[in-house]
Structure 1
């Protein structure tokens, strides 16, 4: 691993505490894997930027493993990170960039949710799942596949326990919102509600969730609410990333081979825009090669900017 850099890509937050948690996560991961060179960058709101991070990771390396610290795949995973990697390839032609899948809806994430739900139930006066509704609360996306991953996790959580109702809500972008789902659960006679945030780290949205739940407690005094926390430093997150590293080093296909991602990016370019975050390209960017995928799509891929 001496010639390999692991680049962890976080979303970034306007709340400094959220970015600080990701830096702390990197320090803990480095302690778990002292022989690895691990760096971090952010898609927005915090330095180093995605483009700077990729070039810094490439310095002195033969190979860069790009690891999205992101739960669901939407525009960042499908468009911005691949485009930034293409730009980095043009500026570091001797370096091999490998792109791992995002964390995804999977059994390790389910284990975290199960543990969070168990903790929340223990905090309630009447820990009876038959009278307790569960709401999985995520950011929300304009990408239906990303919302679908959350819906899958809600279903898995329901099937793995005794709760009759595990519903989905979003803090923005799409529907339903938390207040509407609480209203429905109250109307069918549930006495307690557990809100499980589907977030990796703290930030402005986690602060907003706490305020919303406090407001709901006042609005529904007959209900008991318990609100979980973001995932943070759970061991499953480290293990998922370590599995991503092992898969890439073993030569397993990386996420550049996602037909869904190709389609998503083509639609965006047909609408006349690529990624939304400004950055400065060097002169070589204009000469960046178009990435050619090694599988058939049944269509001609549109040329993409570097």
Structure 2
């Protein structure tokens, strides 16, 4: 793929260590795929910005594959990244920009969660799944589809094992919160609780989760807690992104976000919610529904 650039899009964090982990992930992926040109951009809080990353990726390329390194499809995936891609298409009309799906709720992510749960159970004194509650803890979103994907993963995790109780909690925006879920599990007699963060990389929220679990240990001394970790460097994440590249090059795109998510952005625009975290240029452009999604042939 000599004329193709892959742009990984990370969310970005106020905690620089989280941003550095994404850069380290990109470095590892370059080692796995030495023939690929792989760049990175961030939606907010870190550089290079998404707009700058798109422009840099387009330099010397005929085609740019934009891949969100994001678990759930909320506003960033449905609106902000597609808006930035439209700007990039206007700035670099000679370059073809193709947008891949986010990581999604899928079996490879389930495999990671199962492995995380096994590790946490092994760290407990009495690894009995019938008396051990599980809490899948995610960021939370105002987008019900994104929260629904997490609920799907919690249900899949329960069906994949012997745990009678796998609950869902969120660190913000929506409910329930971790403290309330732990309270419920304690009331029904769980003697151990595993908290599994649904996060790819570290950051301020992962640090907050660690503090919350410490508070819960003090509040519920009769319960044994185990805390999982973020999982962005697991082999399944690399494999998922490599599959995204293969699909885009072959002309296979996710119908749920067809036309670069323009349906979602039209709805948001009609409601007055269209926005972006940054606007580094004032170039106006028209949105068209006639994007060419013809199959792409490897050069």
TM-score tier after normalising by the smaller chain length: over 0.9
TM-score by structure 2 length? 0.94
Change (3 A) 1:108 1:256: closer
Q: Supply the distance in 2 between the matched residues of 1:83 and 1:39 (Cα, whole angstroms).
A: 19
Q: 1:289 aligns with which of 270, 286, 291?
A: 286
| Deviation (angstroms), 1:280 | 2.0
Matches within 5 A, 1:112-131: 112-131=112-131
Matches within 5 A, 1:147-226: 147-226=147-226
Question: Which SS does the other structure have where 1:207 is aligned?
Answer: helix
Q: Deviations over 1:164-216 (max 9, x none)?
A: 01000000000000000000000000100000000000000000000000000
Contact 1:99 1:255 in 2 (8 A): no
Change (3 A) 1:257 1:74: closer
Q: Which ranges in structure 1 are unaligned for 5 or more consecutive residues?
A: 296-306
TM-score by structure 1 length? 0.92
Residue aligning to 2:295: none
Q: Which ranges in structure 2 are unaligned for 5 or more consecutive residues?
A: 293-299
What is the root-mean-square deviation of aligned Cα atoms in Å? 1.6
Matches within 5 A, 1:10-21: 10-21=10-21
| Deviation (angstroms), 1:15 | 0.2
Change (3 A) 1:195 1:293: farther
Q: Supply the distance in 1 between the matched residues of 2:259 and 2:94 (Cα, whole angstroms).
A: 27
Question: Which SS does the other structure have where 1:258 is aligned?
Answer: helix
| Deviation (angstroms), 1:274 | 1.5
Q: Supply the distance in 2 between the matched residues of 1:268 and 1:43 (Cα, whole angstroms).
A: 18
Contact 1:82 1:256 in 2 (8 A): no
Residue aligning to 1:138: 138
Q: Supply the distance in 1 between the matched residues of 2:223 and 2:257 (Cα, whole angstroms).
A: 47
Contact 1:256 1:293 in 2 (8 A): no
Q: Supply the distance in 1 between the matched residues of 2:163 and 2:151 (Cα, whole angstroms).
A: 16
Q: Supply the distance in 2 between the matched residues of 1:257 and 1:182 (Cα, whole angstroms).
A: 35
| Deviation (angstroms), 1:270 | 1.7
| Deviation (angstroms), 1:253 | 2.2
| Deviation (angstroms), 1:254 | 4.6
Q: Supply the distance in 1 between the matched residues of 2:96 and 2:260 (Cα, whole angstroms).
A: 23
